[in-house]
Structure 1
Amino acid sequence: MNYRHAYHAGNFADILKHWILLRLLDRLTAKAKPFFVLDSHAGGGFYDLAREATIRTGEAARGIARLLPHAAGAPESLRPYLEVIATLNADEPALRWYPGSPYLTATHLRECDRLIACDLQSGEGAVLRETLKPFPRAKAHMGDGYAAVPSMLPPPERRGLTLIDPPFERRDDYDRMARATKIGVTQFATGLFALWYPIKDRARAVRFLDALPRPAGGLAAIDFAIDHPTAEGGLKACGLALLNPPFGLVDEIAESLPWLVEHLREGEGATAHIDWISRPE
């Protein structure tokens, strides 16, 4: 499959990963010690939902545009994410702007924190540089995000998050992500890792999770579907694996997932849950 960020900005998968990203950043900023974020497949980092390609897919209209009118009744965990989107669009007559993970991370950096956001595509990389230009503690890196994991971990800050969110343009992306994560955990055993993956075939997703390391802080996996996943056609389900998730975060996510399912469902197969693959030691 081909999951280029710009074409799918603001869809159900973005909602899941960006909500969780903000919850992880909130935990990191709760302590005074500096932290480092590595965003391995960052994309352009900021998106105009009025672009023809985005309008044509209709994914933002079925995603974030459906959630915002119900923001007042959202679970507390989801409100900061929805408030960010609403604030960015406060001066627009309709929903237009959507932030990617590099922008969301950069806006949460303190003077002691750092972000390195990677992208291999020159076009996306140029947009990424512009996105991060206002943020002195955030840098764009043009290169293979998988290779960035062993070369940039562990960071000197000794605290941090690695987000791996590839576009799945290659059939071996599951395997490459699992290998990179194994190396990352070996080199940075206490780091947080968040791994996004599409679910077209649940058996393949299970094999991917089985291939991941089991760090001391545990491995939890979110499964989120707006309908039954199918091998062909548009994406209907995705997962997010969390390695070393902060204490209490899994329970917080579990409490909020039913609300997302209720407001984003597209069929009888809509469901969501988070399970411990391996519990913290």
Structure 2
Amino acid sequence: MFAYRHAFHAGNHADVLKHLVLVQLLQHLNQKEKGYRVIDTHAGAGAYSLRSEEAHKKLEWLDGIGKIWERKDLPKGVAAYLDQVEAFNGPGVLKNVPGSPSLIRQMLRPQDELHAYEVHPTDLRALEKLMAEHKSVKVHLSDGFASLKAMLPPPTRRGLLLIDPPYELKTDYARTLAAVREALTRFPDCVVAVWIPQLQLLDAQQLPQRLRNAVKGLAKKGWLDAQLTVNPAQGGGFGLMGSHMFVVNPPHTLGTMLAEELPWLAQAMGQFEGAKGSLQAGN
């Protein structure tokens, strides 16, 4: 149950896409004065050292954030994401990367709140220590999928739900789909962001389309599916080729920005000639 550790993958291409979109969603929410609630269903440890034993085992970050950290030709949204990483890391050499709860915490205002859920005991302790002095952040030893009944809708009727399970269990796919349905049924205005791995497994391949079908009639502002492919398929059906960020009720500016950013990211982080970034949208 506790096999997955994000420390081995922190800062890779999937993290870049996920956190790039997350930062842009938070920027949009911050444009209005009224507070909002963020729910992070699979928060992790919150911070990761790129000098750790785990990070050095696979060095995935070198082909992720390492490819764009010193680039000067950054699209606006990529620059905003890297600004947040630098604010967390400090200026100069890239030594640490923030997890999603740290990025969220950095961008919260006094009237906003984060509820971060984690069940891995080691990651939970690290996250609790990291967030101990931040009153607007509540860390829960609990299943994030089971939190929605208590957390949605928020009193202010403004909210963001980030769903990012490891997908090591086959049930994660069905539970993600069910969580999106439940969130929108309880709170139709909720902005929902779902990270999906691009794998050769049938469940992974089907989830984007299943989500599109599921949100019909529930999502007030439609959906966006941002896909970034950086690696070729490997023999035997293994290997992470890329990932999706599926966003329900996206800000009206997000599609325009991602249409510019995704091809740039594919060029910057792609590992083969077929690398590409694509965007689909619907109602």
Fold-level match, TM-score > 0.5? yes
Q: Give the deviation of 1:245 after TM superposition.
A: 0.3
In structure 1, what is the equivalent of residue 75 of structure 2? 75
Distance 2:86 2:119 in 1: 30
Distance 1:183 1:90 in 2: 39
SS at match of 2:32: coil
Percent identity over the alignment?
Answer: 34
Counterparts of 1:105-184 in structure 2, within 5 Å, are 105-184=104-183
Out of 268, 272, 275, the position equivalent to 2:277 is 272
Q: Give the deviation of 1:87 after TM superposition.
A: 3.8
Q: Is the 8 A contact 1:41 1:119 kept in 2?
A: yes
Q: Give the deviation of 1:102 after TM superposition.
A: 0.2
Counterpart of 1:227, as a letter, is N
Q: Give the deviation of 1:229 after TM superposition.
A: 3.6
Distance 2:91 2:160 in 1: 32
In structure 2, what is the equivalent of residue 222 of structure 1? 226
In structure 2, what is the equivalent of residue 36 of structure 1? 37
Q: Is the 8 A contact 1:226 1:271 kept in 2?
A: yes
Q: Structure 1, residues 168-192: CA drift from partner, whole Å, max 9, x if none?
A: 1201211110011101110010010
SS at match of 1:195: strand
Distance 1:95 1:184 in 2: 36
Gaps of 5+ in 1: none
Q: Give the deviation of 1:91 after TM superposition.
A: 5.4
Distance 1:227 1:219 in 2: 25
Runs of 4+ with >4 A deviation:
none
Distance 1:199 1:175 in 2: 16
Q: Give the deviation of 1:83 after TM superposition.
A: 1.8
Q: Would the alpha carbon gap of residues 275 and 3 (structure 1) be closer, same or farther in structure 2, given more than 3 Å must change? A: farther
SS at match of 1:81: helix
- Relative to the length of structure 1, the TM-score reads 0.93
Q: Give the deviation of 1:234 after TM superposition.
A: 3.1
Distance 2:241 2:54 in 1: 19
Q: Supply the RMSD in Å over aligned alpha carbons.
A: 1.8
Q: Structure 1, residues 115-154: CA drift from partner, whole Å, max 9, x if none?
A: 0000011111111111212321011011001101233111
Q: Is the 8 A contact 1:227 1:268 kept in 2?
A: no
Counterpart of 2:231, as a letter, is D
Out of 241, 244, 258, the position equivalent to 2:263 is 258
Q: Give the deviation of 1:51 after TM superposition.
A: 0.6
Q: Would the alpha carbon gap of residues 175 and 67 (structure 1) be closer, same or farther in structure 2, given more than 3 Å must change? A: same
Counterpart of 2:80, as a letter, is P
Distance 1:29 1:120 in 2: 29
Distance 1:202 1:217 in 2: 30
Q: Structure 1, residues 26-57: CA drift from partner, whole Å, max 9, x if none?
A: 00000001100000000001111111111111
Aligned residues: 276
SS at match of 1:246: coil
Higher mean alpha-carbon deviation, 7-16 vs 227-236, is at 227-236
Q: Structure 1, residues 54-104: CA drift from partner, whole Å, max 9, x if none?
A: 11111011111111110x210112111112223444456x32110010001
